[in-house]
């Protein structure tokens, strides 16, 4: 009798198994199953692993086919039998683990059937949601992700035993392995290679691919001067490098610092806006409120500031086909004006508190409410006649509130964060910038200020002029501080980007004249954002003021604000590029700002939006607001 070699055994097994893996999942996790199916079947196995003998066959060039019941058995009459045959013919079982899968009878049956074949060690798990073994700690409030058949051994008769198992699991959740690493862990299990080895081979393959590309480019650099050009273009500090980079940018000829196309930026922005808008719509309550956080399972708290900010952002979206979502959000315009929400005392309308538990009111909730109303009134076809009438009444109320935060009605006055400040000249730069945004939105929507369009436009210009006067040209870099009373020259990054955006809009829409020193600094500031990633710090500050409270007593109020830079860098870049076309800006500046914009949207967009749409509502809202300045692909040069 002859004895088969390992290679002969592997070849025989190759014919025994039809599938490399069977994906078991709850159909509510269809998106994950589809991603995994495609990722595994399209993965190109490293060449040096191909042909290696395994216990279940020979390593192929591609992990194909993978069984997924939706793909393999549409409308099969004998589904149970077909599934069992597919399980029997699969080398591995991959279970997509989530709270839905954990309670799925079908998933449990598939696992038990597979384990009963004696393949307990060939069950691989992909965690996509929930928490492992959470069912054993009900006090945690978390949801179990592992089906029972994963957590316990299965007897030969297919029945669960009480013996615990330690599943082989890859964790695709954010903050854990992530999608990419989880995929490689599963591949390592299927190919019977070490995870680190597979990652190193993949890294080496990518490196070799990059080296081959670099070698192809290098072969064209026949002259030493071309090598010098490449080094300088990369941004390395070589003599004359800055001048050479300027020359390359002037002619948009850089090879190593690519500029994303306008079409690519616009197309990417559409998908990012969709994610952000869906997160806001998903968080809205039946009463119309949008909670202050979008974190799953977080305690719901409501505040006018972030609620109205979210509505403002949603109504700013330029994309067609979202009207039903926006219509559902319209009822949120009524929330700030429900009985008992606004603060009134002794005939004075103070507006709204900023956060649950606060007692004093501030300007920001009123300003964002006015912005949301203006956005709704200015969006064609969004409001019914009755809704429009109510929105106009609410706008009149908000404007009456805002009078309290603009006590010095002069040509050089800014806006105050707090009502009835003991020093009414202690203006707040952020509040003034937000007031300018509100006035710009009112003007765009044709909404007057207290019945007068002339009064609105005059107030808009004096507000813009105050901001221009608060500019610090000698700071490094030049920009704006948070209040008019600070003595330090340290500017706030996110606030500076926001004001750049608003002043550009005020110039384009309201004829505000911008001084050359500000215009000259804008492209320099925006260009530097190409060097940032999402770890770039967000500046914040706490701003106190002495006030006279609603009972006539001396008091102190304070507010902490984080100034997001990312959305306003996008918004300001879009508006500067629009201005550049009309004012014949230097070509190199246009190329550099567009390069920065492409980096922000295309390179950083997914990370920024994933974080914003699962954190605080104001992050999602402000990111959507900034992203909405980018026109949709079919909009020509239109900009909102």
402: its two tokens: 């805002």
Please tell me which residue, 72 or 478, carries the higher pLDDT value: 478
Q: Which comes out higher in pLDDT, residue 527 or 484?
A: 527
Average pLDDT, the chain: 89
Domain membership flag for residue 372: yes
pLDDT band at 245 (very low <50, low <70, confident <90, very high): confident
**356 and 486 assigned to the same domain:** yes
Q: Dihedral sign, CA of 598, 601, 602, 603? A: positive
Query: How would DSSP label each residue in 239-289?
Result: TTHHHHHHHHHHTT--SSS----HHHHHHHHHHHHHHHHHHHHHH--TTS-
Last residue of a domain, one of 174, 198, 222: 198
* 272 in the same domain as 186: no
Does 72 score more than 50 pLDDT? no
CB 430 within 8 A of CB 495: yes
Mean pLDDT across 469-476: 92
Is the pTM higher than 0.75? no
Structure tokens that stand for 618 in this block: 């104001």
- Asked whether residue 159 falls in the same domain as residue 270, the answer is no
279 lies in the same domain as 175: no
Query: Do the domain assignments include residue 257?
Result: no
Place of tokens 């002069």: 410
Whether 204 has a pLDDT exceeding 80, the answer reads yes
pLDDT value of position 117: 94
pLDDT of residue 216: 73
Res 368 pLDDT > 60? yes
As a whole number of angstroms, the distance between CA 115 and CA 5 comes to 27
CATH number of the CATH domain containing 112: 3.40.50.10140
SS3 514: coil
Say if residue 73's pLDDT is above 50.
no
Identify whether the C-beta of residue 337 lies closer than 8 Å to the C-beta of residue 297: no
Please give the pLDDT value at position 7.
Answer: 52
Which pLDDT band, with edges at 50, 70 and 90, does 241 fall under? low
19-62, pLDDT tens digit by residue? 999 999 999 999 999 999 999 999 999 888 888 887 777 889 99
DSSP label of 600: I
Per-residue pLDDT at 91: 95
**Residue 570 domain-assigned?**
yes
What sections of 348-452 are H helices per DSSP?
363-378, 385-403, 429-445
Cβ partners under 8 Å of residue 240, min gap 6: 232
272 shares a domain with 180: no
Model pLDDT, residue 236: 62
Q: Pick from 175, 183, 25: which is nearest to 102 by CA?
A: 25
**92-119: average pLDDT:** 95
Name the pLDDT band for 483 (thresholds 50, 70, 90).
Answer: low
| CA 148 – CA 164 distance, rounded (Å) | 10
CA distance 447 to 101: 52
> 10 Å Cβ neighbour count for 545?
24
> Distance between CA atoms of 413 and 629, rounded to whole angstroms?
29
Q: Tell me, yes or no, whether 203 lies in a domain.
A: no
Output the CA angle 76-82-84, nearest 5 degrees: 150
Cβ(167)–Cβ(146) below 8 Å: yes
Segment 297-311 mean pLDDT? 91
Residue 248: name the closest of 262, 234, 260, 269 by CA: 234
Q: Does residue 530 have a pLDDT over 90? A: yes
Section 211-236 average pLDDT: 62
**Residues 255, 233 contacting (CB under 8 angstroms):** yes
Among 158, 179, 198, identify where a domain stops.
198
Same domain flag for 186 and 305 = no
Phi-psi category of 443—alpha, beta or left, where left has phi over 0 and alpha has psi -120 to 50? Answer: alpha
At 403, list the tokens. 């009078």
Alpha helices in 485-616 (DSSP H): 493-510, 516-527, 566-583, 587-598, 605-612
Q: Are residues 181 and 312 in the same domain?
A: no
330 is written with which tokens? 């319209």
Side-by-side strand order, sheet with 361-362: 343-345, 348-353, 361-362
- Please name which of 189, 188, 172, 192 lies closest in space to residue 180, comparing C-alpha atoms: 172
Do 193 and 312 have their domain in common?
no
Range in 311-320, 369-378, 550-559, 625-634 the model is least confident about: 550-559
Answer whether residue 640 is part of any domain.
no
Residue 78 has pLDDT above 50, yes or no: no
- Do 172 and 284 fall into the same domain? no
Q: What is the reported pLDDT for 608?
A: 96
Does residue 639 carry a pLDDT above 60? no
Quote the pLDDT of residue 77: 41
Domain shared by 190 and 336, yes or no? no
- Does residue 87 contact residue 114 with C-beta atoms inside 8 Å? yes
Determine whether 113 is exposed, middle or buried from the number of CB atoms within 10 Å of its CB (0-12, 13-18, 19+).
Answer: buried
Is it the case that residue 107 has pLDDT exceeding 70? yes
3-state secondary structure of 559: strand
Nearest to 401 by CA among 337, 444, 307: 337
Instruction: Please check whether residue 226 lies inside any domain of the structure.
Output: no
* Within a domain: 225: no
> Can you tell me the distance from the alpha carbon of 280 to that of 614, in angstroms, rounded to the nearest whole number?
10
pLDDT at 220 over 60: no
pLDDT tens digits, 140-174: 999 999 999 999 999 999 899 999 999 989 999 99
Q: Which residues pair with 561 in a beta bridge?
A: 541
> What's the average model confidence in pLDDT over 61-79?
68
Q: Please tell me the predicted confidence (pLDDT) of residue 23.
A: 96
CA 121 to chain CA mean position, Å: 39
d(CA 190, CA 419): 66
pLDDT recorded at residue 321: 85
Strand pairing report for 123-127 and 90-97? parallel
- Nearest in space to 635 (alpha carbons), one of 313, 261, 262: 262
**Percent with pLDDT over 70 in the chain:** 90
Model confidence band, residue 294 (pLDDT cutoffs 50, 70, 90):
confident
Q: How far apart are CA 467 and CA 414, in angstroms?
A: 8
Same domain, yes or no, for 177 and 275?
no
| Closest to 545 (Cα-Cα) out of 484, 487, 499, 494 | 484
Domain span at residue 557?
A: 262-627
**198, 229, 254: which is the final residue of a domain?**
198
Q: How far apart are CA 110 and CA 251, in angstroms?
A: 61
Into how many domains does the chain fold?
Answer: 2
pLDDT at residue 17, rounded to an integer:
87
**What's residue 75's pLDDT?**
45
**For residue 76, is pLDDT > 60?**
no
Helix (H, G, I), strand (E, B) or coil at 563: strand
- Angle at CA of residue 447, ends 443 and 449, nearest 5°: 90
So what's the pLDDT on residue 79?
Answer: 46
Residue 180: per-residue pLDDT: 92
pLDDT of residue 231: 56
Residue 291 maps to which CATH number? 1.50.10.20
Mapped onto helix, strand or coil, the DSSP state of residue 22 is: strand
The proportion of the chain whose per-residue pLDDT surpasses 90, expressed as a percent, equals 68
Q: How many helices and strands (H and E) does the chain possess?
A: 24, 14
Is residue 175 domain-resident?
yes
Q: Are residues 389 and 510 in the same domain?
A: yes
Q: Give the model's pLDDT for residue 238.
A: 61
Q: Give tens-digit pLDDT for 590-637.
A: 999 999 999 999 999 999 999 898 889 999 999 999 999 999 998 765
């Amino acid at each position: 009798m002859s004895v088969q070699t390992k290679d002969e055994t592997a070849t025989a097994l190759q014919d025994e198994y039809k599938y490399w893996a069977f994906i078991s999942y709850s159909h509510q996790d269809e998106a994950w199953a589809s991603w995994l199916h495609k990722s595994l079947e399209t993965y190109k196995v490293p060449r040096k692993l191909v042909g290696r003998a395994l216990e279940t066959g020979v390593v192929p060039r591609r992990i194909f086919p993978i069984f997924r019941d939706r793909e393999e058995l549409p409308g099969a009459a004998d589904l149970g039998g077909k599934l069992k045959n597919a399980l029997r013919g699969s080398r591995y079982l991959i279970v997509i683990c989530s709270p839905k899968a954990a309670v799925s009878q079908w998933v449990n049956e598939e696992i038990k059937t597979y384990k009963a074949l004696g393949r307990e060690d060939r069950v691989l798990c992909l965690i996509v949601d929930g928490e492992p073994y959470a069912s054993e700690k009900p006090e945690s409030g978390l949801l179990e992700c592992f089906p029972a058949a994963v957590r316990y051994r299965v007897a030969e008769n297919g029945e669960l035993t009480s013996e615990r198992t330690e599943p082989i699991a890859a964790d695709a959740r954010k903050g854990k392995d992530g999608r990419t690493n989880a995929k490689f862990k599963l591949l390592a299990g299927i190919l019977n290679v070490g995870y680190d080895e597979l990652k190193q081979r993949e890294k080496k393959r990518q490196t070799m691919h990059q080296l081959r590309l670099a070698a192809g480019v290098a072969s064209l650099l026949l002259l030493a001067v071309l090598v010098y050009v490449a080094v300088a273009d990369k941004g390395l500090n070589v003599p004359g490098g800055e001048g050479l980079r300027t020359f390359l940018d002037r002619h948009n000829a850089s090879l190593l610092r690519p500029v994303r196309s306008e079409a690519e930026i616009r197309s990417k922005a559409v998908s990012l806006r969709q994610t952000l808008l869906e997160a806001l719509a998903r968080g809205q309550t039946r009463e119309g409120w949008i909670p202050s956080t979008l974190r799953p399972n977080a305690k719901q708290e409501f505040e006018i500031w972030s609620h109205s900010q979210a509505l403002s952002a949603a109504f700013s979206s330029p994309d067609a086909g979202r009207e039903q979502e926006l219509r559902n959000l319209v009822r949120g315009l009524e929330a700030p004006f429900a009985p008992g929400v606004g603060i009134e005392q002794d005939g004075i309308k103070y507006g709204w508190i900023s956060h649950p538990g606060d007692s004093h009111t501030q300007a920001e909730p009123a300003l964002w409410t006015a912005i949301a109303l203006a956005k709704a009134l200015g969006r064609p076809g969004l409001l019914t006649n009755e809704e429009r009438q109510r929105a106009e009444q609410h706008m009149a109320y908000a404007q009456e509130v805002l009078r309290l935060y603009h006590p010095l009605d002069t040509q050089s006055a800014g806006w105050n964060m707090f009502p009835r400040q003991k020093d009414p000249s202690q203006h707040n730069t952020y509040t003034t910038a937000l007031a300018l945004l509100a006035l710009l939105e009112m003007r765009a929507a044709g909404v007057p200020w207290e019945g007068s369009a002339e009064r609105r436009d005059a107030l808009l210009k004096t507000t813009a002029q105050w901001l221009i006067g608060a500019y610090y040209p000698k700071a490094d870099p030049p920009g704006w501080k948070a209040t008019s009373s600070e003595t330090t020259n340290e500017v706030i990054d996110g606030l500076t980007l926001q004001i750049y955006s608003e002043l550009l809009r005020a110039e384009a829409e309201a004829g505000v004249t911008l001084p050359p020193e500000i215009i000259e600094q804008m492209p320099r500031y925006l260009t530097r954002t190409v060097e940032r990633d999402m770890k770039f710090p967000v500046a914040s500050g706490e701003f106190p003021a002495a006030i006279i409270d609603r009972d006539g007593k001396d008091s102190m109020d304070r507010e902490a604000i984080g100034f997001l830079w990312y959305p306003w860098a996008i918004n300001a870049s879009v508006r500067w590029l629009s201005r550049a076309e009309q004012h014949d800006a230097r070509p190199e500046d246009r190329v550099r700002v567009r390069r920065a914009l492409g980096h922000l949207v295309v390179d950083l967009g997914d990370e920024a939006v994933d974080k914003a749409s699962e954190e605080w509502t104001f992050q999602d809202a402000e990111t959507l607001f900034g992203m909405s300045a980018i026109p949709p692909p079919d909009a020509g040069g239109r900009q909102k």
